[in-house]
Amino acid sequence: MTELGLREAKRRATAHALAEAAFDLAVEHGVDGFTIDDVATHAGYSRRTFANHFSCKEEAITGLAVERLREGLETLPPMPADTPLLDWLMALARHQLSGGMLPLLQQLRQLAREHHGLEPYLADVQLQIRRMAQDAVAARAGSNVSRLSSHILVGAAYGALMSVLDGRVPIRLPGDPEPPSGDSVTVDEFLSTVFTHLRRGF
C-alpha cells in the first residue's frame, strides 16, 4: 500500500472511531447528554482531531452510517462479471442490511425523532448513501446500462428502503419474535419482494 493509501486508511479509521463513539454515546445518553470532548475522549483522540473530521456531534453521530456503507461496499464478496445487475444489487443490499446497516439506520431515525436538530444531518447522510449506491451501480454496470436506467434502479431500491426506515414496512430482524399481527417481514422476504417487482420492469 502506498503512503497516500496508508494515510487515507488511517484518516478513515479515525473518522470511523469518532463516529462510532458519538453514536454509542447518543444511544446511551441521548443527543443532548454528552459533549464533543466526551466523544473525543471516548474514541481516544483530541478535540482538535474531532474538528478535523466533523463540524459537530450531530454530524459525527449520523456519519457512522456512511462509514458502514463504505465498509459494506468494500467487503462485498466478489461475483462473476456476468452476474445480472439486479442480482448484484440484491446481493449488495442483503450484504449491507445483514451487516447491521438496517438497525443502525432505524436507530438514527429514532434519535432524530427525539432530537430534531439531528434531522438535517440524517437527511444529508441519506443523500450520501444514495449517491454512493448510484456510483457503485454505475461502476458495476459500465456501458451495459444507461445512466438514466441506473438512476431509476437505485431510486426504486432506495425508495423501498425508505419505507422500512419510516416504519411503514415493519422488518423483523434475526432473533426478533414475530408480532401477533403477523404483518412484519424478514429482510430476505422484503428484498425478495422488492427485487421481484424490479425485475418485472428491468
Q: 86, 1 in Cβ contact below 8 A? A: no
Query: Nearest-CA neighbor of 166 among 102, 84, 101?
Result: 102
Q: What is the mean pLDDT of the segment spanning 180-200?
A: 82
pLDDT at 120: 95
pTM of the predicted model as reported, rounded to 2 decimal places: 0.81
Instruction: Inform me whether the pLDDT recorded for 36 exceeds 90.
Output: yes
pLDDT in tens, 119-138: 999 999 888 888 888 888 88
CA dihedral 122, 33, 69, 155 (to 10 degrees): -20
DSSP state of 44: T
Instruction: Inform me whether the pLDDT recorded for 179 exceeds 90.
Output: no
Q: What is the mean pLDDT of the segment spanning 50-60?
A: 96
| Percent of the residues in the chain that have a pLDDT greater than 70, as a whole number | 94
Amino acid letter, residue 133: A
Residue 72 CA, distance from chain mean position: 9
94 vs 53, which has greater pLDDT? 53
Q: 150, 134 in Cβ contact below 8 A? A: yes
pLDDT at 162: 82
119 vs 185, which has greater pLDDT? 119
The C-alpha cell 432524530 sits at 112
pLDDT at 181: 64
pLDDT at 114: 93
Average pLDDT, the chain: 87
pLDDT at 40: 97
